[in-house]
Amino acid sequence: MYSTEFEHITTSYIAPGLNQLVVFDLDMDGIDEIISTTPELDKFVILRGDLSNPVYFHLKAGNETPSIYNNKRGNYGENQIVMQVGDMLKVMTYEKNPFYWLKYPLLLFIYLSFFSIFYTFRKIQRKQAMRKYEAETRFAELQLVSFRNQFEPHFMFNILTNIGSVMIQGRQNESYEMLMKFSKLLRSILMSSSKVSRSLADELSFTSDYVNLQQIRFSGFFEFEVTIQEEINQQRLVPKMVLQTYVENAIKHGLSKRDKGGKLQIEIKEDDEKNLIFSIKDNGIGRAKAAELELESTGKGMHIMKQYYDLLNSNNKQKITETIIDLYNEMDQPAGTQIIVKIPIDFNFEK
């Protein structure tokens, strides 16, 4: 009864079973489509031969066998697929989508849009990370400059105090010699004022001149000895005033409190991994006794050195390390202090 409603019924097909896959050229384009019936779900699906472009529709078939028609309406040229089960009819109209080809540029547009959004987001992230890094780097540089500027006035103040002490004692020739050596140290400080590191050779020369000044002040109080492993490259960079600060501390708080027989030893070597090892050793009165005698001492030099290392280490995976060892004699009495500083072989002093 329903077929009379259609002007041109070109093809009809009786599905042999409700739970089977059937093949049928529904759109008369010479390529078969696949029809899957699933009556237990009251759902049918039509797919192309490559299982693409599925179309679902509901039709309760019960136990009846569905009939499938392909119809072309004359007035409008529409293609229709008709499925009939008993007195129920399902009609689907189809035609070619003239904008079907637009899906490719659309997909490309979607892909490029997502890519552009992702790229822009990543670019913003990198820019923000770079700004943060530059800000942190600049902050670290300013702190290093600040610490350096604390180092040098602190050091010069102590030297001038020592020269004044010798002059008060009436040792004019010695005070003049100290003043000449101090001018040499001052020139070295001014020449390296913008640096946070210098060569090992320069650091050794600076430290030796400083010790000579102190030996003039504390005439005959202590001996000074430097031992350097032969194969060490003395152009290797080290933190500025790394030796001088520990030497100054050893003389001021340890050796100067002895009556005589003091000894200051610096040993420089490389370990098996080519890391640079400094040992600054004195036979002074020890840290505990020095703390008792110098209640007003600020320990500013050592405090600055610790912050100095913290900032330098912040830009390196391998860190500069400092170890302080209290020395004792055979009778378990304080017999001095040893400082061991380790500078990694690939340590970077830039920024």
- Identify the CATH number of the domain in which residue 308 sits: 3.30.565.10
Question: Of 96, 123, 155, which closes a domain?
Answer: 96
Question: Of 37, 64, 96, which closes a domain?
Answer: 96
Compute the distance between CA of residue 175 and CA of residue 186 in angstroms, rounded to an integer: 16
The arithmetic mean of pLDDT across residues 248-274, rounded, is 88
H helices of the chain, in order, are 103-168, 172-191, 200-217, 242-253, 287-293, 300-313
For residue 340, the 8-state DSSP code is E
Residues 6+ apart with CB under 8 A from 63: 18
pTM above 0.75, yes or no: no
In terms of domains, do 154 and 91 share one?
no
Instruction: Identify the three-state secondary structure at position 4.
Output: helix
In terms of domains, do 204 and 81 share one?
no
Structure tokens belonging to residue 59:
């039709």
| Element housing 266 (H / E) | strand 262-270
Residue 16 has pLDDT above 50, yes or no: no
Compute the distance between CA of residue 345 and CA of residue 118 in angstroms, rounded to an integer: 40
Compute the distance between CA of residue 261 and CA of residue 221 in angstroms, rounded to an integer: 6
Residue 56 belongs to some domain of the structure:
yes
Structure tokens belonging to residue 174:
């010695």
Residues 6+ apart with CB under 8 A from 8: 71, 72, 73, 74
pLDDT tens string 197-253: 889 999 999 899 889 888 877 777 889 999 999 889 999 999 888 898 899 889 888
In terms of domains, do 168 and 249 share one?
yes
Q: What is the pLDDT of residue 131?
A: 78
Q: What is the pLDDT of residue 4?
A: 36
Q: Facing residues of 222 across strands?
A: 262
In terms of domains, do 92 and 146 share one?
no
In terms of domains, do 82 and 10 share one?
yes
| Element housing 31 (H / E) | none
pLDDT tens string 148-171: 554 556 667 777 887 888 888 888
Instruction: Identify the three-state secondary structure at position 68.
Output: strand
In terms of domains, do 224 and 80 share one?
no
Residue 19 structural domain:
3-96
In terms of domains, do 191 and 90 share one?
no
Question: Of 63, 96, 129, which closes a domain?
Answer: 96
In terms of domains, do 176 and 83 share one?
no
Distances (CA, A) of 120 to 79, 123, 130, 337: 47, 5, 15, 58
CB 329 within 8 A of CB 335: yes
Q: What HEC string does 74-96 produce? A: CCCCCEEEEEEECCEEEEEEECC
Number of domains in the chain: 2
Residue 275 belongs to some domain of the structure:
yes
Residue 120 belongs to some domain of the structure:
no
Amino acid symbol at 346: D
